[in-house]
Structure 1
Amino acid sequence: MSVPKFAASRSFHTELKSRINAYFEEAGKSQTGNSGLFVKALILTTAFVLVYLHLVFFTPNAFLGILECILLGGIGAAIGFNVMHDGAHGSFSKSKWLNQFAAFTLNVLGGNSFMWNMKHNLIHHMYTNVDGVDDDLDVQPWMRMSSTQPRRKLHRFQHLYFWFLYALLYIAWIFFMDYQKYFKGKIGAMPIKKMTATDQSVFWGFKVIHLLLFMALPIYTVGFVSWLVGFVIFAAVAGFTLSLVFQLAHTVEHAAFPMPDEITNKLEDEWAIHQIKTTANFATHNKVISWLVGGLNFQVEHHLFPKISHVHYPAISKIIKQMCEEFDITYNEYPKMRYAVASHVSHLRELGRK
């Protein structure tokens, strides 16, 4: 499908940006990360390196090794949420090179920052939940994420087997999906911009580095079977954690899945209102969850202001909620994470049955 257009009216977004900017001016705060975020990044990256080194060079017994692989997967996902994600959006720091350095953690972990920028920043954040454009909805033929997608017999059970598929995300991402995008030159139906020589070097160079760090070296030090078991556990934990957090933001019962008009190719709402209707928050009062997932439980705030660091989301959420009340716009939020998970399961069950 061709790229849809949003409604022309921008009164809501203009007023919202004005109030958010006024908040930061009055508070005298930068919109990027603060010392707390930098300390968190240091804690997470140091913990990841130490656990990795212990697994690879100081081979623990089987029980401790499994626990450490689980921990490594969780820390890896947390680095993605807290460090890479803010860095890729340019909100980690005022420094451009520090943002790039934070975003490059994805390359070390096996992904590719160029492909992520195209898929996530440019496509998903613009056309959230628009089937045929937002590649995050494309889990076909295995899952049906929107009512506009074809239903298959196996989808009747997708609310039961999605746990297994989500655990495969990390492996599929680093060993298949990045290469698929690279060789096709497309993300779904959307063409990607031409990669420069530097982009090419980063893509292939870090893919090799990842294979050396996460395959060749561990196989050499602990043996193939031990590596395989450990890597699968690590990848499954990271993949499932990443998948679940991102899915709870958009594929739940109360999120909208708008489609453009068949004749005009226009969406019903202006961009900002579209983001609110297609997004949901969860467990925003749980500080532990907020810390671990890098504020991605404040997805409404993130989608409206992706260049503002997640450390500011609790504060600006009050402004956004007030604006939504004034403009009679539903602000989707689940008070507990388990409620969001239940809503996601119900959404999948409903789509699988009709």
Structure 2
Amino acid sequence: MMQATTVKFKHGNKSDFYITLKERVDQYFVDHNTSKFANWKMLAKMLSFLGVMILTYSMILSGAFVPWQMLILTMIFGLSSAFFVFNVAHDASHGSYSKNPGINKLLTYAWNLVGMSSYIWNLKHNIAHHTYTNICGTDIDIDQGFLLRFHPGAKRKPHHRIQHLYAPILYGLFSIYVILIKDFQMYRVKRFGNKQINRHPLKEYAIVIFSKAFYITYNLVIPYFVLNIAWWQLLIAFVMMHMMIGNVMAFILTPVHVTHGTDFREPDHEGVIDTSWAVH
């Protein structure tokens, strides 16, 4: 039977659960006399991670450390980069930093600072993943190709029996893959969830190319010419840095898909999920 090309929820956002939940959340902020947006703790966290990034990068370029010490600094730089983008760019993409959408938009460009596309992230994460979580064909996050199987409806391959053994290595290389390959591949995708995009904005192509060129420059080109190290040493450091970034991303992003009891709902032949979005 042919499946519908779009997915919709039977009750939308009009369920009693959603209405009650929203009222209680709103009331929480009223009762505690606090803002829904970033407080000083979030700002301190943002500046702390950014500070560690700047400090470790400066220490590496100083040339005052032997190679194994620079490798440790590089790994710390990778960890702080991962925590920075998830605590700043991710949260800002959900509008949590400021009531001013422009400020939130600006902060989402932290993804570009670490070589990734904030534009593609928004399409994949906010539009496809959060709207259609764990729905095969619309939640792009569960489509991991033939190497990893996240969805019970995905075709099982013999190597999936040991994916728990090789997955950490793939996760460690994931951020490199996103920066160098996947972001560009995603510009060929025309549908994210139910959102049809016939042509991506030209400015987004320019932004992503500039961002990646800038990232390669400050992570590979500058260290290569400033430091007295061999190219293979720089390559090892770059890969180890991304092992940190990739595994942090994996530990944050994958549990919602693979933890015990995760629900994978299937739409009917008309593309309807028999529940509300919030309950789903």
TM-score normalised by length of structure 1: 0.73
CA-atom RMSD, angstroms?
1.9
Structure 2 counterpart of 1:67 = 72
Shift of 1:116: 0.5
Secondary structure, counterpart of 2:260 in structure 1: coil
Which residue in 1 is equivalent to 2:10? 7
Aligned partners of 2:58, 2:44: CA distance in 1, in Å?
21
Name the aligned partner's letter for residue 199 of structure 1. E
Q: What is residue 221 of structure 2 aligned with on the other side?
A: 216
**Structure 1 residues 65 and 95: CA distance shift in structure 2, 3 A:** same
In structure 1, the gaps of 5 or more residues are 275-354
Equivalent AA in structure 2 for residue 3 of structure 1: T
1:56 to 53, 58, 61: 61
* Partner in structure 1 of residue 212 of structure 2: 207
Superimposed CA distance per residue, residues 158-196 of structure 1 (whole angstroms, 9 cap, x where no aligned partner): 121111111111011101110001244455997446433
Q: Which has the higher contact order (CA 8 A, sep 6+)?
A: 2
Q: Is the 8 A contact 1:132 1:189 kept in 2?
A: no
Could you say which residue in structure 2 is the equivalent of 1:302? none
Please say if residues 6 and 193 of structure 2, whose CA atoms lie closer than 8 Å, have aligned partners that are also in contact: no
In structure 1, which of residues 232, 235, 243 is the aligned counterpart of residue 242 of structure 2? 235
Moved more, 118-127 or 53-62: 53-62
Q: Where do residues 316-327 of structure 1 align in structure 2 (5 Å cutoff)?
A: none
Post-superposition CA distance 1:212-252 (Å, at most 9, x none): 11121122223422211110000111101111221123321
Q: Which residue of 2 aligns with 1:268?
A: 274
- Is residue 56–residue 218 contact of structure 1 (8 Å, CA) maintained in 2? yes
Note if contact 2:129-2:140 (Cα within 8 Å) is conserved in structure 1: yes
Deviates more, 1:62-71 or 1:34-43: 62-71
Residue among 123, 135, 138 paired with 2:140 = 135
Aligned to 1:107: 112
SS of residue in 1 equivalent to 2:45: helix
Alpha carbons of structure 1 residues 184 and 134: separation in structure 2 relative to 1, 3 Å? closer
Matched, 1:92 2:83: no
The farther-off stretch of 221-230 and 163-172 is: 221-230
Number of matched pairs: 273
Counterpart of 1:248? 255
The match for 1:32 is 37
**Following the alignment from structure 2 to structure 1, what is the Cα–Cα distance between the partners of residues 231 and 155?**
41
Q: Please say if 1:118 is aligned against 2:123.
A: yes
Task: Tell me which residue corresponds to 1:285.
Answer: none
CA distance in 2, matches of 1:238, 1:195: 27
Q: Say if 2:185 is the partner of 1:180.
A: yes
Structure 1 distance, partners of 2:139, 2:182, is 15
Question: With structure 2 as the length reference, what TM-score do the two structures score?
Answer: 0.91
Percent identity, aligned pairs only?
27
Range with bigger deviation, 106-115 or 71-80: 71-80
1:257 aligns with 2:260: no
Equivalent positions of 1:330-345 (< 5 A) are none
Aligned partner of 1:244: which letter? Answer: F
TM superposition shift of 1:57: 3.4
Asked if the contact 1:127–1:133 (Cα under 8 Å) also holds between the matched residues in 2, the reply is yes
Is the CA contact 2:187–2:200 (under 8 Å) kept in the aligned structure 1?
no
Indicate conservation of the 8 Å contact 2:10/2:275, yes or no: yes
Query: Structure 1 residues 40 and 193, CA, compared in 2 at 3 Å: closer, same or farther?
Result: farther
Separation in structure 1 between the aligned mates of residue 127 and residue 264 of structure 2, nearest angstrom: 18
- Give the aligned partner of residue 152 of structure 2: 147
Matched, 1:226 2:226: no
Contact 1:7-1:270 within 8 A present in 2 as well: yes
- 1:54: how far off? 1.5
**Contact 1:118/1:192 (<8 A) preserved:** no
Task: Provide structure 2 residue ranges, at least 5 long, that are not aligned to the other structure.
Answer: none
Structure 1 pair 184/129, CA: closer, same or farther in 2 (3 Å)?
closer
